[in-house]
Amino acid sequence: MRIVVLAGGTSTERDVSISSGLLIAAALREKGHEVVLLDVFRGYECDICDVYALFKQNYSFTDFIQVGDTISDISEVMEQRRDKSARFLGENVIDICSYADITFLALHGGAGENGQIQATLDLLGLKYTGSGYLGSALAMNKGITKSVLIQKHVLTPRGEIFKTAADAQAWTEFPCVVKPCSGGSSVGITVVENAEEYMGSVQEAFGYGENEIVVEEYIKGREFSVGLLGGKALPPIEIIPNEGFYDYKTKYQAGAARDICPADITAEENTTLREAAIATYKALHLESYARVDFILTDDGQAYCLEANTLPGMTPTSLLPQEAKVAGISYADLCELIIDISMQKYQKKKY
C-alpha cells in the first residue's frame, strides 16, 4: 500500500506527534509499504513535487525528534514555514495524500484531533485512520465529553465548564482538578489542593489559548487506561507515576512512571474497566481505535476521565504496551489500525 503518515502540526503535542509518526512510518516500511512521512503544517516545501518519487524513496521530513519535558515552541515552528502563512495544511499535503491508499493520522491535539482535519479529508474523499469528525470533536472537548457521558450514564467526575477566570471563582470544592477544555497529553492540567492554589491553576489552564476550562472533583484512586481496537477492549494498563500525577513530563520521559500490564486487578475490576471503556467508545461515536483513561476507586468504581481518539504511539505510549500483552506487535498494531479503518469505509461505501 501507499501510505501517508501525517504528524507534527501546531498543537502543544507537536513533538509527541512527530515521535509517534517516526515509529509508525518505520514499522509500516518494515511491513513492505511505501510510506511518506509529512509534517501536516510544513508540508513538502519544494517547487517541484514528484509524488510518485516521494513514495518510492520513502520520504520523511525528519528522522529524529526528542520529546522533552516541556512543550515545543510553536511560534518558532511557524516562523520556519516557507510561505509564513498560518494555515494548518502545509504545501502539497493534500496532493500527496490524494495519491495514497490511506492517510495514517499520527497527529495529537489541536486541529489534528478535534475533527477539523477529519472533516477536511472527508470532504475531499480521502481515507484516514481513526475516528471521524464527530467522534473526534466530541472526545477532544472535555466539557462536551463529560456532558455526553453523563447523558449516557457513564461514570465520570462531577465538574463545571468556565469561560473566564472570574466565572471560575464560583468553584469552591477542594481538592479539584483544573484542565484546559481541549488540551491533550495532560498539558496545563493541575491537581489543586486548596483555594490558595486555585486561581493560579485557572490562569495556567487558560494560558494555552483555550476559551474555556474544565474544573472537576478530584477522585482518589489508581490510574488506568484501556485501549480499544475496533470497539473491543485490550487488557487494562495501570499507570503509577514515581511522583505527582500522570502529567506531560511523566508520560514521555522514560522511567518517570511504572506501567503495569496486565494490571494487578481482580476479574471484576477488569470487567468493570473494559465495559466502561466500551460504553465510552460507543457514547462518543468513536471508530477504529481509541484509548480511554480512568480512575479506579477502592470500592471498584471506574471514573472515566477522558477518551483519546488518536492515542500516542511513542516508545512510552500505553496503547502499544496493551497491544503487546494481547499478542500484537507494534508493526502488526499499525497494520491492524489501517485494516480496521479501511473496514469503516467499506461499511459506509465511500
DSSP for 32-93, written as a single string:
T-EEEEEETTTB---SS--HHHHHHTT-BS-S-----SS---HHHHHHH-TT----SS-BTH
pLDDT of residue 255: 60
Q: Quick one: DSSP state of residue 334?
A: H
pLDDT tens for each residue of 239-293: 998 765 544 444 445 566 799 999 999 999 999 999 999 999 999 999 999 999 9
Query: What's the pLDDT at 56?
Result: 97
How many residues are there in the chain? 350
Measure the CA–CA gap between 36 and 97, rounded to whole angstroms.
9
In whole angstroms, what is the distance from residue 29 CA to residue 187 CA? 32
**Please, is 223 exposed, middle or buried when counting C-beta atoms within 10 Å of its C-beta (0-12, 13-18, 19+)?**
middle
Look up residue 226 and give its amino acid.
V
Residue identified by cell 509534517 is 39
Give me the residues paired with residue 216 across strands.
Answer: 159, 177
Overall CATH class of domain 222-328? alpha beta
Q: Does domain 158-217 have CATH number 3.40.640.10?
A: no
β-pair type (237-241, 232-233): unpaired
* Reported pTM: 0.90
Q: Which residues of 107-126 are buried (b: 16+ CB within 10 A; e: fewer)?
A: bbbbbbbbbbbbbbbeeeeb
| 162-184 per-position pLDDT tens digit | 999 999 999 999 999 999 987 65
The four Cα atoms 64, 67, 72, 77 give a dihedral, to 10 degrees, of 10
Domain boundaries, the chain: 2-128, 158-217, 222-328
Q: What is the pLDDT of residue 350?
A: 43
Counting as low any pLDDT under 50, the low residues of the chain are 185, 246-252, 350
Please report the pLDDT score of residue 185 as a whole number: 47
| Dist. CA 200–CA 195, nearest whole Å | 10
Predicted confidence at residue 68, as pLDDT, reads 60
What pLDDT, on the 0 to 100 scale, is given for residue 248?
A: 46
Q: Is 184 helix (H, G, I), strand (E, B) or coil?
A: coil
CA distance 184 to 186: 5
**CATH code that applies to domain 2-128:** 3.40.50.20
